[in-house]
Structure 1
Amino acid sequence: MSNHQPPMPQAPAAAAPDWQAAPGGQYPGYTSPIPVVRAHLGHALASEWTKIKSVRSTMWTLGVFVLLVLGIGLLAGAVVSNSSSSMDDQSPLQLGFFGLLLGSMCIMTLGVLTTASEYGTGMIRTTMTACPSRSRVLAAKAIVFFVLAFTITLACAAFVAMVQNAMVQDNGARTPTGSEWFKATVGVSLYVALLGLLSLVIGSIIRHSAGAITIMIGLLLAPLVIALFMFAQSLHKLREWLLEYSIPNQMSVFYSNSLSTTGPSGWEPLWIILGVTVAAYAGAFALLRSRDV
């Protein structure tokens, strides 16, 4: 007798759910309740704006910036208006230089923190997961920060300029021309915002908040301080170059009160900082694409 057993009949395969389509198919029976929207730059801008307005560092840095620009600017105007000395037909707008020079360090600090702080906390991984396009992330950070820095700086610089002009009119100060008003408000605000944007890019390159802030403060103050202590005649040309192209001297050009008789003039400081920022941005973009997050 043969031990061969007939094969057991197999149950028919269960029918696939009506929402499960064949590989590569559509899903005719299923509609996701979550709307699928193609991501674009606007979404990245909204995300970066939410982040920058939600962190305490933004409020602290911008708050100190406003305090320095308004406080020192109005104090300088009050001291000049209450003194017996005459401004000898000088522009009163130059009194806003000192407060804006110190306040620019706050803008630079915020620029660094906008990028470098995410690397310190590890949140950059979440950002890149939500938006895999690294160029879009860097562009969104740059746009949001630049617009915010420019708006705050312009509001403070314009307010201080108007108040100072009213305060020192009786001290022999001349009435500024329209071009002088434009340079001392819009021009210098663009320069400070670009300086902050350069800090943002350096923060993306260094990926370390303290290191990037130290580099930017050194870039702001070191050339001028070094030039002041170069007494040797052989270093005269280097001393003049450091003095002419230092950031404080370039900012003073916008107030028609340059610290040197040669060097950048007119709108040249704005083109210089723009060129440096664009070059640094290109380097940051290349590194961002080649390095891991």
Structure 2
Amino acid sequence: MTTTTATTTTRATAASAAPGFRTALAFEWTKFASLRSTRWTLLVTGVLTVVGAVFVGLSGSLQPDDTVLGGSLTLGVISLMVAGAVGALTVCGEYASGTITATLTAVPRRGRVLAAKAALLACLLYVTGLVCCTAAYLVGGAVLEDGKYARGEPLPALFGIAGLFALVGLVGLAVGTLLKHSAGAVVTVVGVLMLPSLFGPLLGDLQRWVAGATPTAALEKLTQTSDASPETVGSLGAWPSLALVAGYTLLLLGVAAWRLRRRDA
């Protein structure tokens, strides 16, 4: 009884003395900025989107009913995959190096650790997504033949697309927290993005519901691409699709937080 009471008291004391959220956020920024893998992967997320706009514009591969916005963000799906990889590496890198133990010792409140990681990651990916997608739209408009394609409606769509980058990164963070292995987490995120669309035709009438609930479908609707037909991505609008992705992302983060609290580092 005495030992149990002492252990409980020690844990309670450590939790009460735990650093606040701002301090935890500062810790996470220091770790993120010091990891070469996350820095370069974040850079690739932005550069790839802009390079894709130039490539598509010069290749002349757009259909007559495509828009400048949709054509410029043709490689947006690949950029989302990289954003998911950034999220996975943010936590899996710590598990691989063993620094997760030091992190959880410095900030005993594990939910706070995950919340700090999520807040930092969401902000970085949102800004990256907004800047690179806006640049891609402007570059695409400059490269594509003037007046040949409709411009599309970039606002407020670009804000939603940037939010989608942040959400997919959080999916990667949650999956990485659950699996603890970079390769498995990245493959899982790619599967979430691609498999429903690839195997959707095999599902018959269920295709619009399965494929339509994915981040890929939300991206196609927000970019107003000609491929976003109700038969393939469902009849749900762009913003409700984004809200649906946000809903199950938060649910997945909740599961990850619950699992992080219940297991050893």
- TM category (shorter chain) comes to 0.7 to 0.9
What CA distance in whole angstroms lies between the structure 2 residues aligned with 1:120 and 1:93?
A: 39
Q: What is the CA distance between 1:198 and its match in structure 2?
A: 1.1
Paired residue type of 1:128: L
RMSD: 2.1
Corresponding position of 1:267 = 239
Matched residue of 1:98: which SS?
coil
Q: What is the CA distance between 1:86 and its match in structure 2?
A: 7.9
More helix by share: 2
1:69 aligns with 2:63: no
Q: 5+ unaligned residues in a row in structure 1: which ranges?
A: 1-36
Corresponding position of 1:144 = 120
Q: What is the CA distance between 1:270 and its match in structure 2?
A: 1.2
Corresponding position of 1:54 = 34
User: After superposition, what is the alpha-carbon deviation per residue over 1:270-292, rounded to whole angstroms, capped at 9, x for unaligned?
Assistant: 10111011111111111111111
Corresponding position of 2:20 = 40
Corresponding position of 1:281 = 253
8 Å contact 2:50–2:139 — kept in the other structure? no
What CA distance in whole angstroms lies between the structure 2 residues aligned with 1:54 and 1:192?
A: 22
Q: 2:67 aligns with which of 72, 87, 91?
A: 91
Corresponding position of 1:16 = none
Structure 2 counterparts to residues 202-221 of structure 1, below 5 A = 202-221=175-194
8 Å contact 1:66–1:103 — kept in the other structure? yes
What CA distance in whole angstroms lies between the structure 2 residues aligned with 1:173 and 1:244?
A: 26
What CA distance in whole angstroms lies between the structure 2 residues aligned with 1:273 and 1:246?
A: 7
8 Å contact 2:53–2:139 — kept in the other structure? no
What CA distance in whole angstroms lies between the structure 2 residues aligned with 1:185 and 1:195?
A: 15
What CA distance in whole angstroms lies between the structure 2 residues aligned with 1:38 and 1:68?
A: 40
User: After superposition, what is the alpha-carbon deviation per residue over 1:204-239, rounded to whole angstroms, capped at 9, x for unaligned?
Assistant: 1111211111111111111111124x2xxxx42123
Paired residue type of 2:128: I
8 Å contact 2:84–2:186 — kept in the other structure? yes
Corresponding position of 1:292 = 264
Corresponding position of 1:247 = 215
Moved more, 97-106 or 186-195: 97-106
Structure 2 counterparts to residues 119-268 of structure 1, below 5 A = 119-168=95-144, 170-176=146-152, 180-228=153-201, 230=202, 235-257=203-225, 258-261=227-230, 262-268=234-240
User: After superposition, what is the alpha-carbon deviation per residue over 1:41-72, rounded to whole angstroms, capped at 9, x for unaligned?
Assistant: 11111110011011111222123223321111
8 Å contact 1:91–1:174 — kept in the other structure? yes
8 Å contact 1:249–1:260 — kept in the other structure? no
Q: Once the two structures are aligned, what percentage of the paired residues are identical?
A: 31
Paired residue type of 1:286: W
TM-score by length of 1: 0.77
What CA distance in whole angstroms lies between the structure 1 residues aligned with 2:261 and 2:63?
A: 57
Q: 2:91 aligns with which of 96, 115, 121?
A: 115
Moved more, 47-56 or 207-216: 207-216
8 Å contact 1:243–1:260 — kept in the other structure? no
Shift of the 175–225 alpha-carbon distance from structure 1 to 2, 3 Å rule, reads: closer
Paired residue type of 2:186: I
8 Å contact 2:178–2:256 — kept in the other structure? yes
Matched residue of 2:73: which SS?
helix
Shift of the 86–135 alpha-carbon distance from structure 1 to 2, 3 Å rule, reads: closer
Q: What is the CA distance between 1:171 and its match in structure 2?
A: 4.2
How many pairs align? 245
Relative contact order, higher structure (CA 8 A, sep 6+)? 2
8 Å contact 1:183–1:254 — kept in the other structure? no
User: After superposition, what is the alpha-carbon deviation per residue over 1:227-275, rounded to whole angstroms, capped at 9, x for unaligned?
Assistant: 24x2xxxx42123333333432221000123522243213012101110
1:101 aligns with 2:101: no
What CA distance in whole angstroms lies between the structure 1 residues aligned with 2:79 and 2:166?
A: 11
What CA distance in whole angstroms lies between the structure 2 residues aligned with 1:38 and 1:268?
A: 38
TM-score by length of 2: 0.85
What CA distance in whole angstroms lies between the structure 2 residues aligned with 1:187 and 1:272?
A: 13
